[in-house]
Amino acid sequence: MTAIFPSEEWLQGLEAKLNSDEKYSEIAKNWEGDLFFKIEPEGNLKEELTFYLDLWHGKCRKAVYKPDASAYPSQFFIVRIL
């Protein structure tokens, strides 16, 4: 069964895919930075959604569903989806 976006299951699947994908590992081997996603409510999404990815040298060290932004005050990139 495929996880539906947005969901914690989807984010866990993304983390697993990033950590098992040899091509991603090679392409991102020099990447050092984390991403904080903030998705504004629209359509079927009724409330703001956030998730955090800690990406480091071709691996996802951490993926968090619905974190508070204050828990990650020094995130490297913030992706805001309106």
Confidence at residue 82, expressed as pLDDT on a 0 to 100 scale? 58
Strands of 77-81's sheet, edge to edge?
A: 59-65, 49-56, 32-39, 77-81
Write the pLDDT tens digit of every residue in 55-81. Answer: 999 999 999 999 998 888 877 777 777
* Rounded average pLDDT over 9-17: 96
Of the candidates 61, 44, 60, 35, the residue with the CA atom closest to the CA atom of residue 7: 44
Write the pLDDT tens digit of every residue in 28-49. Answer: 999 998 999 988 888 888 898 9
What's this model's pTM, rounded to 2 decimal places? 0.85
Q: What angle do CA 26, 76, 68 make, to 5 degrees?
A: 115
Task: Give dist(CA 45, CA 37) in Å, integer.
Answer: 15
